[in-house]
A = this chain, B = another copy of it.
Amino acid sequence: MSEFNYQGLFAERAPITTRGANRHAKYDFAVAYPDPDTLPLTGLVEALSTALEREGRDLAYYPVSAGYPPLRELVADKLRRDRQMDVTADDIILTSGSGEAINMLIQAMTDPGDVLLTEEYVYLGTMRQMRLWGANVVGVKCDDDGIIPEALDETIRAQEAAGRRVKFLYTIPTFQNPLGWTATLERRQRMLEVCQSHGVPILEDDCYVDLRFEGEDVTSISSMDDSGQVLYTGSMSKIIAPGVRMGYLVAPEMVRERALSFKSGGVNQFAALAIEEYLRNHMYDHIDEENQALRAKRDAMLAALGEHFGNRATWSKPEGGLYLWLTMPEGTDLAGFQDQSFSEGVGYYSGSMFSPEGNGRHMARLCFGHPTAQTVSDGIAELAAIFERNGIFQGK
């Protein structure tokens, strides 16, 4: 069989993406999956059945590009109530996960060479998409209270001085992925002020905000702005299931009509019907149940780290979300050891996978959402044992 040769036929910008099957270590702290035992499976089937009975014949139509109107209404209600945002269903586009919303904005706003700002550590899939469209991804220094406003101001000035256009700041202010902190109210205000002074829009990614099991909500950055400078995305993937791929974008009309060009058809109407019916009846009960499960897992991880890592590392104490951030002494090579740890039974992602500049080789994100609390405990003990026998605690 002579293989047709496609070399020379690909677009210049098209990179090679090889993604095999998702592999899972025995103890998988690498990928941010939610709790499988609180997935609302029965509830979703019942909701779908009810919704299809009511309006399933409309599945014969292609869905409107902004997505199922009743689900957009439900999202708008929720954002007004929970995030103090002044929005209606018309401001919202449903997307295939929040990932599609982010990708649409990247494509609508990035010419090659433009700068997109992120926190100093950022989800690798987002960074990959930004670079695919030619962006310079520039991380902004953070501390435990969020992005440092002075650093944000300096970074924007430096990029503009170098003749580059800063197109937007992408931020996850609540349960930041991967760092786990939540930006304080004051920091949110100052971030917004700095961005206002430079005319730089903000894309606020609030996809983890419902996963709070401790402490008080901090209001959205979007709610502090009435000029349309803050774009906003969220997700149902975290409160229903990642597999449902349902997120949304909130943006002014002139942004929506650009972003829509980069949308891959309507979202799954089948999932939209089920989710709307389910959430309308069960949203907060379900979130409470899920968060109780997550809290127990976080507690198990904190306790196990205290027991097995003691003063040989530091780690964040997140009030919500699916992961914490582990910091080992400078010089420890968690990045280089990641594959070995996986093959010995414990998966994690090192900090350098999340850094635009490749920093954080001595840091790692540990996700506690998917395993049981007992498995979290056992896995942290195992990770300590693996580190011990491979000399990682000695800074190798």
Contact = CB atoms under 8 A, between A and B. Distances in A.
B261 A245 contact: no
A134 to B, nearest CB: 9
A184 interface: no
A34 interface: yes
Contacts of A15: 258, 261
A344 to B, nearest CB: 22
Contacts of A59: 36, 39, 41, 241-244
Contacts of A58: 36, 243
A21 B68 CA distance: 10
B274 A245 contact: no
Given A45-B45, A107-B11, A261-B14, A254 B6 contact: yes
B110 A11 contact: yes
Contact of A258 (B17, B228, B245): B17
A191 to B, nearest CB: 15
A322 to B, nearest CB: 11
A1 interface: yes
A16 B262 CA distance: 10
A25 interface: no
Interface string A255-276: 1011011101111111100100
A14 B107 CA distance: 7
A254 B17 CA distance: 10
A57 B36 contact: yes
Given A60-B36, A265-B96, A268-B96, A6 B41 contact: no
Given A6-B252, A33-B62, A245 B227 contact: no
A264 B95 CA distance: 10
Contact of A243 (B6, B41, B63, B133): B63
A58 B265 CA distance: 26
A308 B52 CA distance: 38
Nearest to A65: B19
A264 B3 contact: no
Contact of A270 (B63, B252, B271): B271
Contact of A56 (B41, B255, B264): B41
Contacts of A269: 241-245
Contact of A227 (B1, B60, B100): B1
Contacts of A257: 16-18
Interface string A6-33: 1001111111111101100000000101
Q: Give the 9 A-B residue pairs with the shortest CB-CB distance, closest first.
A: A243-B269, A59-B243, A59-B241, A36-B60, A4-B229, A17-B260, A41-B56, A17-B261, A36-B57
Interface of A: 1-6, 9-19, 21-22, 31, 33-37, 39, 41, 44-45, 48-49, 52-53, 56-66, 96-97, 99-100, 103, 107-111, 132-133, 165, 167-168, 199, 201, 226-229, 241-245, 252, 254-255, 257-258, 260-262, 264-271, 274, 370
